[in-house]
Chain A
């Protein structure tokens, strides 16, 4: 996979649903179109919920990986 340039990383580990999603929503709202926001979450629900939200809102998943219990998702702001 090609390297993705991360604009900003948000660490939401230790927060419960919907904390990680809220962090990402804030990050996306404050960012510019084209920015890539990477969220780290150790809340298991995030692995399903976050991609669902990204697709619903029409943004793009630039990268996704699991490191132990930590879920990393990089989201490109499309609009």
Chain B
């Protein structure tokens, strides 16, 4: 039996900037440490990934998020992209939430590999460690 690559399933549900940042940071570092990372962006977490909201920096945040923005450190999009560039990170938008919002993949910032349903995501993340934010 071939050895399975350790895999991380990261489910982003919240639109809180801190949760997006923490989740993307964990995913990015995990991918650079040899893990295969699949990210499922669903429910309110999709909103900050929408081009309009992202371009206007229309985010929901608390005290730490305020400093993240003030100090202009690289945001969740950059963390995910670095993970993609130097490791294996796949990012998927939730088909249900995208349909409800009438958003298409092109409406979102350019980190999404695809828009998929839960069944497909579960199929990809069999036996993975799961983190939900």
Q: Tell me the bound Cα distance from A57 to B31 in angstroms.
A: 12
Q: Tell me the bound Cα distance from A16 to B71 in angstroms.
A: 10
A56 touching B86 by the CB < 8 A rule?
no
Closest-CB distance, A10 to chain B (whole angstroms)? 14
In the complex with contacts A16-B73, A26-B86, A29-B86, A21-B34 CB distance below 8 A: no
Contacts of B34 in A (CB 8 A): 56-57
Contacts of A19 in B (CB 8 A): 73-74
Q: Tell me the bound Cα distance from A25 to B83 in angstroms.
A: 10
Instruction: Determine the main DSSP class of B at the interface with A.
Output: helix
B73 touching A21 by the CB < 8 A rule?
no
B86 touching A18 by the CB < 8 A rule?
no
A18 touching B33 by the CB < 8 A rule?
no
How many residues on B have C-beta within 8 angstroms of the other chain's C-beta atoms? 12
Residues facing A in B1-23 (CB within 8 A) are none
Instruction: Determine the main DSSP class of A at the interface with B.
Output: helix
Q: What 0/1 pattern do residues 1 to 42 of A give for CB contact below 8 A with B?
A: 000000000000001111101100110010000000000000
A22 touching B33 by the CB < 8 A rule?
no
Residues facing B in A28-66 (CB within 8 A) are 29, 53, 56-57
- Residues in chain B within 8 A of chain A (CB atoms): 25, 28-29, 32-34, 71, 73-74, 79, 82, 86
- Please, could you name 17 A-B residue pairs with CB atoms under 8 Å apart, sorted by A? A16-B73, A17-B25, A18-B25, A18-B29, A21-B29, A22-B28, A22-B32, A22-B82, A22-B86, A25-B86, A26-B86, A29-B86, A53-B29, A53-B32, A56-B33, A57-B33, A57-B34
- Residues in chain A within 8 A of chain B (CB atoms): 15-19, 21-22, 25-26, 29, 53, 56-57
